Chains A and B, each alone.
Chain A
Amino acid sequence: MEIRFLEGKRPGTDLLLEEAFKLRHRVFVEELKWEALRKSDGREIDQFDGPQCTYLLAVDQDTVVGHLRMTPTTYPHLLADVHAHLCARPEPRGPAIWEWTRYCAQPRARGRWKWGQVAAHIEIASLEWLFMHGVRDVVVEFHPKFIERHLEMGFEVNLLGLPVEMEGEQVVAVHMRFDLSTLYQARACLGVSGPILMNEPVAATA
């Protein structure tokens, strides 16, 4: 498995990205039954996809097995434009604050109780990419159980609101901050032995 980053791509211009949209459709529409996202062509694309996003893909033998979308909060994004009701506090926005959305992995690439290898590599690769781009803040909407996991990895996790039930699942919006020691701790927690993107000199300064 390898991690690939796609930057500045529009839907319809990159074969791997198209595969990622199909994976999103399989997971979010066919498996999780988020019917509002259903598309006749089987590609889950929404108004927030575009060249401003960086897509992080886990690729195994030319197949996309995992996906995460990263969007700068200076552009329209899910929390601000659709899920603003999840926030009781003002939503943090800025060029160095990014949103994580649409994380998904192929069913057979998932861990059950522990984190699967795909999830672990996507999490670490994303942190490294953001770190190298000067980003230390992410906003994300997820199940509250992910709060305890990110606390364990050493993130500062700030609630933006209380959990709300959506489509039968609890969802909470959070603002998370991290630094280099978070990256080390996250690697240790997730069993990722070394840097995925970063070169050694950067990693060795901690």
Chain B
Amino acid sequence: MDRTAFVFDTIQQIKLATRPDELMAVLAKAGAQFGFGKACAIASIPDNAEDFERYCYIDCWPAGWYERYLERNHFDSDPVIKKLRISRQPFAWHEAATNPDRQAALVMNEATEFDLLAGFNVPVHSIKGQLATVTFAGDRFDLPWEDRPTLMLIAIYAHDRIRELMGVRPLHPSQQRPLTPREIEVLKWTAEGKTSQDIADILSVSLPTVQSHMTNLCRKLDVVTRAQATARAVRWGILT
């Protein structure tokens, strides 16, 4: 195989993919080419386990593994997740779990029960500091050192494409008009679950004032509902 041609071709297919499943199939094929034939996944890594699934695309995890992972709260003890938070470089699973504590060892052992014996993770840090990762898993690790940057490139393009397919990209012109401090305050209380009347009471302003802030901030964020406004504000780094 001509490695350069394979990578160029794979990235071209990633750019042309029009649906997430199509993209994941291209990614899985590329992973298999580098020895990771079991599974691949693209996932955002939020700060806490509550919204672990903010976005998550998976191709063929062994049946039951993902459910087990969520059910046992592995997110909090997974050594791979811990290493992702501090690493700029891609790494192998055995490099993340070099000296695992009991909880970490448990996660890695359970993974082996599902035939997930080896893996490779590419961290993707957005400019605003949000973290995501592309995972490749297989039954053994034999990715040569010089192929790591290559697989990293494929992962970067795949992550960018899935975000675009899902519409996660910031919409530029609307963001040119930043939210006012008051609008951000209203948004914060909304995220806390307060009604417009609650917020009016808290801020000592009238209900129509709060409603007008809400209308304006929704327009700026290009959304219709409060839930969407909160979600988009988090995604754009306005709310943390």
Contacts and interface: CB of A to CB of B under 8 A. Distances in A.
Interface of A: 88-89, 113-115, 144-145, 147-149, 151-154, 159, 161-163, 165, 170, 172, 181, 184-185, 187-190, 193-194, 206
Contacts of B157: 147, 151
Interface string B153-176: 100110110000000011011011
B126 interface: yes
B173 A113 contact: no
B150 A193 contact: no
A186 to B, nearest CB: 8
B125 interface: yes
B72 interface: no
B37 to A, nearest CB: 22
B127 A115 contact: yes
For chain B, what secondary structure do more than half of its interface residues adopt (helix, strand, loop), or is it mixed?
A: helix
A194 B178 CA distance: 11
Interface string B183-214: 00000000000000000000000000000000
B11 interface: yes
B128 interface: yes
Given A113-B129, A145-B88, A188 B11 contact: no
Contacts of A161: 4
B129 A148 contact: no
B172 A149 contact: no
Given A149-B127, A152-B126, A159 B153 contact: yes
Interface of B: 3-4, 7-8, 11, 88, 124-129, 146, 149-150, 152-153, 156-157, 159-160, 169-170, 172-173, 175-176, 178
A163 B150 contact: yes
A152 B149 contact: no
A122 to B, nearest CB: 15
Nearest to B122: A148
Nearest to B15: A156
A181 B153 contact: no
A184 B160 contact: no
B7 A148 contact: no
A201 to B, nearest CB: 15
Nearest to B157: A151
10 contacts: A115-B127, A153-B127, A162-B149, A163-B153, A185-B169, A185-B170, A185-B172, A188-B172, A190-B127, A206-B173
B149 A148 contact: no
A189 B170 contact: yes
A103 B176 CA distance: 26
Nearest to B3: A162
B156 A184 contact: no
Contacts of B149: 144, 162-163, 170, 172
Nearest to A145: B88
Nearest to B237: A191
Contacts of A193: 176, 178
A72 B208 CA distance: 56
Contacts of B152: 144
Per CB-CB distance, the 3 closest pairs between chain A and chain B, nearest first, are: A184-B172, A163-B149, A151-B160
A187 B160 contact: no
Given A187-B172, A194-B176, 18 more contacts: A88-B8, A113-B129, A114-B128, A144-B153, A148-B125, A151-B156, A152-B127, A159-B8, A159-B11, A159-B153, A161-B4, A162-B4, A162-B149, A162-B153, A172-B153, A188-B172, A189-B127, A193-B176
A61 B227 CA distance: 46
